[in-house]
Amino acid sequence: MVVEIGSGLLGVGAGLAIGLGAIGTGLAQQQAIAAVFGGIVEDPKQFGKGLFFIVLPETLVIFGLVIAIMLMGRM
């Protein structure tokens, strides 16, 4: 069976979409979680707002997953 280079590149693109999205999320959460925990220590009432800022960078991984699914659908 002959494998086209296009399908291989789609697989690489899908992997990069998820991998780079995860790296970006990790870097963003590193900063956000440190700031949120510092704010919660000063005022525990800020937990709800802080939780929002912790979860917000996770959208990068979700977008990467959606793009990877779209790319894998073209294979």
Q: What is the mean pLDDT of the chain?
A: 89
For 5-9, the CB contacts below 8 A with 24+ separation are 7/75
Write out the two tokens for 4.
């086209």
Q: Is the separation of the CB atoms in 66 and 24 below 8 Å?
A: no
- One-letter amino acid of 27: L
Write out the two tokens for 69.
């699914």
Query: ∠ CA(24), CA(61), CA(55), 5° rounding?
Result: 85
- Single pTM value for the model: 0.75
Residue ranges for the chain with pLDDT beneath 70: 1-3
Q: What pLDDT does residue 8 have?
A: 87
**Domain edges within the chain:** 25-75
Site of tokens 């990790």: 26
